[in-house]
Each structure stands twice: as C-alpha cells, then as structure tokens.
Amino acid sequence: MKQSSIWRALRIGLCAVTIVFLVAPMLLVLTISFSSAQFLTFPPPGWSLQWYRNVFNAPEWSDTLFNTIEVVIPTGVLATVIGTAAAVGLVRGNFPGRAAITGVLMAPLVVPIIVVGAAVYELFGRLSLNGTWVGFVLAHTMITVPYVVSIVSASLSTVNDQYEKAALTLGAPPWTVFRRILFPLIAPAILSGMLFAMVVSFDELIVSLFISTPTFKLITVQMWSDVMGDVNPTIAAVGSLLFVFSLLVLGIESMVRRGGGSGGHIQG
C-alpha cells in the first residue's frame, strides 16, 4: 500500500514537472505579448495590445502573415487530394513497387529537413521558383503529403473492403464507389489529414528559409529574422497567434475524429 502511494506521488510529480517544462515557456510568451514595455521583460510592467496592433499594421508582419495564409490553404487542399489518392492506391491497390512508392512519399518525414531545404533551393533555383507563391505551395505540399498519407492510410485499413466490393457488384463504377461509399467512410480522416497538413505548413521554417526572397517570405521566416535582429514583443504576439491557431485547428481535428469515429468499421 505504502509503496504504491509513493510511486503514485512520483508519477504525478514527474507529470507535473513535464507539463510545467512544456507549457511554462508558452505561457511566458503569451504574457509578454500583452506587455506595455518596449522590450522583452518579465514580468511585464503593464498591459497593452500594442504588439498585436503592430502585427497587423507593420507591413513586414501583415504582408508575411497574408503570404502564409495564401500558401497554407492551397497547400492543405493539394496535399489532401494527392495524399488521399496515394493512400487509396497504396492500401487498396495491388501492384508491384508499392513499398518503393510509399518510401518516396514518406521521405520528407525521414530525410533531415535541412537537406530537403537545400535540395529544394537548388532545384527551384534552376526553375526560377525561389521566392514565388507557386514554389512555396509546391515545397509545402511535398512536406505535408506524408501526414495526409499516413492518417488516411490508417483509417482506410480499418474500413473493410467488402463495402467497396459490394458496391462494385451492385453496379457502381470505381469513381462512384469512391464518391458514394469510401469517401463518406474515411471523410473524418481526410479532414484531419488536411488540418494537420495546414498546421505543418503554417509552422514550417527550415525549407521556407531556403526558398524565401526579400520579395516573398512567410511569417515564420520573418519571425526568424526578427529574433536574430532587435527583439521586441511583436514576436511574442506573433508567436501567440500561431500558437492559438494551431491549438484551434488541433481542437477541431480531435472533435472531427471523435464525432466521425463511429462509421466505417465492420460489424458482426
């Protein structure tokens, strides 16, 4: 009895330390973002929204924020379409070379991201895509496709393929089978894959650093150069906005997952 309560206390203690360790910096940043001081100090001498105003007024922040939004949305859509199609082919298909294709698609998760960045920079240099909207969307799509592929594949492998076979025998051609049967069954996974892709794209720094130019950069790149230069609490405001955005998206994602998790599994 006594021993188990000691273990219990230790376990709770360890969890508490971990949580503080992970969450405290975030809380610190959140607090500082509302500071009235002109530089990063803790605790703040007073409160104001000046840094948030600055995010939307200063062109280096508002421009890069909108650039990011312009990249994140098409990236999410593109990665979802490609990732879903790939997942259906890889899980349901029966053709040689599936393992190789999976490897290529998943490579951006495994290859050190700085290597990916350098390679993309090199390639885009030849294609004159560095610092262009198209270049960012392409690079981010490549990085986010693996997330969609793995989330959708996991969901697909829990859906019994007899539903698709039954639909085929009832007279539905393959595209109709996907649209009417498979898509509704894996829609929660597709949506959560898309949200994940968007969060990853929103947060992406390394590859974006490589392919940014002074004329087109993303907010993460702007944050990076800001941190390297003179530091004022605007960075805390931007960081807080990013944090809240990611939290929101992940919250939606878990709601989707819980709400839609019932369908698609074989009964009986």
Partner 1 sequence: MEQPGNKLLELRDLCKVYGKTLSVDHVSVSLAKGEFMSFLGPSGSGKTTTLNMIAGLTEPTAGEIYLQSRAIRDLPPYKRDIGVVFQNYALFPHMTIAANLAFPLEMRRVSRSGIRTRVARALDMVELSGMGERLPGQLSGGQQQRVALARAMVFEPPLLLMDEPLGALDKQLREQMQMEIKHLHERLGISVVYVTHDQDEALTMSDRIAVFNHGRIEQVGTPAELYDKPTTLFVAGFVGETNLIEGRVISADGTSCKIATAAFEHIAGNGPGLKTGAQVTLALRPERIEIAPASGAPPPGGRTLAATVTETIYFGRFLKYVVSAGGLTLTVVEQMRASRLSGFGPSDQVVLGWDPENVAVIGKG
Question: Is position 266 an interface residue for partner 1 (rule: CB under 8 A)?
Answer: yes
For partner 1 (CB under 8 A), the number of binding residues is: 24
Compute the least distance from the CB of residue 88 to partner 1, in Å. 17
Name the one residue in this structure whose structure tokens are 């009964």: 267
Candidates 24-32, 126-134, 147-155, 158-166; binding stretch for partner 1 (CB under 8 A)? 158-166
Give the Å distances, CA to CA, from 99 to 6, 105, 141, 250: 48, 10, 21, 30
- Cα distance between residue 45 and residue 213, in whole Å: 37
Of 89, 125, 259, 263, which lies in the binding site for partner 1, with binding defined by CB under 8 A? 263
Question: Is position 184 an interface residue for partner 1 (rule: CB under 8 A)?
Answer: yes
- Cα distance between residue 101 and residue 83, in whole Å: 12
Return the structure tokens found at 26.
């975030």
Question: Is position 8 an interface residue for partner 1 (rule: CB under 8 A)?
Answer: no
Of 162, 215, 228, 230, which lies in the binding site for partner 1, with binding defined by CB under 8 A? 162
Q: Which long-range contacts (CB under 8 A, 24 or more apart) does 29-35 make?
A: 29/236, 29/239, 29/240, 29/243, 30/236, 30/240, 30/243, 32/233, 32/236, 33/233, 33/236, 33/237, 33/239, 33/240, 35/233, 35/236
Comparing CB distances to partner 1, the nearer of 165 and 258 is 165
Of 171, 214, 215, 229, which lies in the binding site for partner 1, with binding defined by CB under 8 A? 171
Compute the least distance from the CB of residue 166 to partner 1, in Å. 4
Peptide bond into 96 cis (omega under 30): no
Compute the least distance from the CB of residue 152 to partner 1, in Å. 17
Question: Is position 181 an interface residue for partner 1 (rule: CB under 8 A)?
Answer: yes
Comparing CB distances to partner 1, the nearer of 53 and 180 is 180
Question: Is position 96 an interface residue for partner 1 (rule: CB under 8 A)?
Answer: no
- Cα distance between residue 257 and residue 264, in whole Å: 12
Residues that bind partner 1 (CB under 8 A): 160, 162-163, 165-174, 176, 180-181, 184-185, 263-268
